Each structure stands twice: as structure tokens, then as C-alpha cells.
Amino acid sequence: MSKAIRNTITSFIVPILFIFTWAIFATKLNNPMILPQINQVLNNFVHATDDFIGLGSIPRNIIVSLIRVLLGYCVGVIIALPLGIFMGYKESISNLFSKFINTLRPVPALSWVPLVLAWFGLASLATFFGVPYGPKQVFFDNFKFAMIFIIGMGTFFPVVSGAAFGVKNVPKTLIESAKVLGASNRDIFFKILIPAAGPNIINGLRGGLGSAWGCLVAAEMLPGSLSGLGYLITHAYELARTDLVVTGIICIGVVGALLDYIFVVVEKRRFSWLGR
């Protein structure tokens, strides 16, 4: 048996054991409020395109959540990535920001909700661009600034740390050898620092995306939210539909894992030189 097949089989052992345990407990307890049956959840996936508890189909909710996460993620990355790189590059910039950032880092994204609501209210992409009332407006109204802010916040910290750490820890001799070969400051920045810091930067971006997903449920609990996986979970909880809660959890997990896999592929392709 080839190693690849063996590895694939190994990676399925724990999930299968988990599903078995779930099935046994669900049957023994026989109380869908505590633990839904597997077939109930499977049934939700089979009928994924149905309208669930008035929140639309599962693919629709996935798409709304995905766009929210990606919007917030992009905002977070656009701020965190250059800041992190410059913090790693210049000690003075690092001194300026690092204490401030380290103080904010442990604050959970959720605790910003009251303030964020006060700042942004229910403003969304629809209100910002003045989309006239209609199906388009309903769609764009899903993307509220408050949510984007919370998700961006979650993205920010891992990305800024990864970039700053990566750039700061580029071996000094790489920079020195480039200098002796006649590199300008620009050469050193783009041809030495950035590629050398690449693996750590990607690691930060990967952690940031995971964290962005983590903030999704918090962001979708905000008032005015009417769709998305996080909202599906909260609303299903209010209706005691644990089967839908589990369905939502599985969707968040699977979509998050697929996005993470993009980074695995990038690392394999771009960083084969690490020789791992």
C-alpha cells in the first residue's frame, strides 16, 4: 500500500470513530434537544436547497457567510500585512505599535460589539452604495460594516504578528551577503526580506483566516443579521433545532478547512525550498 493511501486512511479513523460515538449516544439519549440523530442532520444536507426556518437554503447561507468573512479578512489583511512588514523592518515602527497591539490582542472580538454597533449602526454595503430597495438591496444589506469590522479585527492580530516576526527574523547574513553583492535597500526589501519572510507571512495569513471564521458567529449575532451560517446557528438554537445547529457547525468547519487547504497548497508549491 502506498504511503499516500495509508495516510488518507489514517486521517479518516478519528472522524469515523467520532461519528460512531455520536450515533451511539444520540440513540441512547434519544433526545434531539441534547443531541440530534445523524440522519436528521444528513437529511438537512440532502435537502440543502430547501428554505430552512425562514433563513433560506444552506448554500445561500454559506455564500453570505463566505463573502462576509472574505470582506472582513481583506480589510484586516490590507491593514495588518503592511504594518507587520514595516514593524519587522524598522525597530522604531515596532516600538511605536507593539505594546498597543499586544494590549488589544487578548480582547475577544465579541467585546467590541456594543461599541461597533454604536459606531456603524446598521450601515451596510447597500446603504453605503445607496442600492435601491429590491432583491439586490436585501443581498447587499447582508454585509454590514459592523460585521466586517469584527471579522477584520479577528484577522488583524495573527497576520500582523506573522509578518512582523517573519521579517524581523530573516537571518542577518542573508542581508549582509546581499549588501556586499551590491544590493540597494529596495533590492534587500523585495528580493531578500519579503521572500525570506514568506513562510511566516503565509502562516500569519493562514492563522488570520482561521480567526476570521472564528469571529463569524460573533459577527452574525449582531442585530440586523438575517442570514449566514452564524445566524442560522443562533436562530436554530432559539427554535431548539439542534439538528440545524449541528448542520451549521459542520458547514463552518468544512468551508473553513477548505479555505485553509488553499494555504497548504500554496506552502507546498511556493516553499518547497524549505526542504521539509
Residues at the site binding other proteins, with contacts judged by CB under 8 A: 171, 173-174, 176-184, 187, 191-192, 195-196, 198, 271-275
Closer of 192 and 218 to other proteins (Cβ)? 192
- What span, in angstroms and rounded, lies between the C-alpha atoms of 151 and 220? 10
SS3 content of the chain, % helix, strand, coil (to 5): 80, 0, 20
Provide, rounded to whole angstroms, the least separation between the CB of residue 168 and other proteins: 18
Closer of 150 and 197 to other proteins (Cβ)? 197
Closer of 190 and 261 to other proteins (Cβ)? 190
Q: Cell 549588501 identifies what position?
A: 179
Closer of 171 and 253 to other proteins (Cβ)? 171
Closer of 139 and 271 to other proteins (Cβ)? 271
- What span, in angstroms and rounded, lies between the C-alpha atoms of 161 and 208? 10
C-alpha cell at 80: 495588518
Provide, rounded to whole angstroms, the least separation between the CB of residue 212 and other proteins: 28
How is 241-268 classified by DSSP, letter by letter?
A: -HHHHHHHHHHHHHHHHHHHHHHHHHHH
Provide, rounded to whole angstroms, the least separation between the CB of residue 244 and other proteins: 47
Provide, rounded to whole angstroms, the least separation between the CB of residue 2 and other proteins: 24
Cα–Cα separations (whole angstroms), residue 257 to 46, 134, 147, 209, 210: 21, 34, 21, 10, 9
Provide, rounded to whole angstroms, the least separation between the CB of residue 190 and other proteins: 11
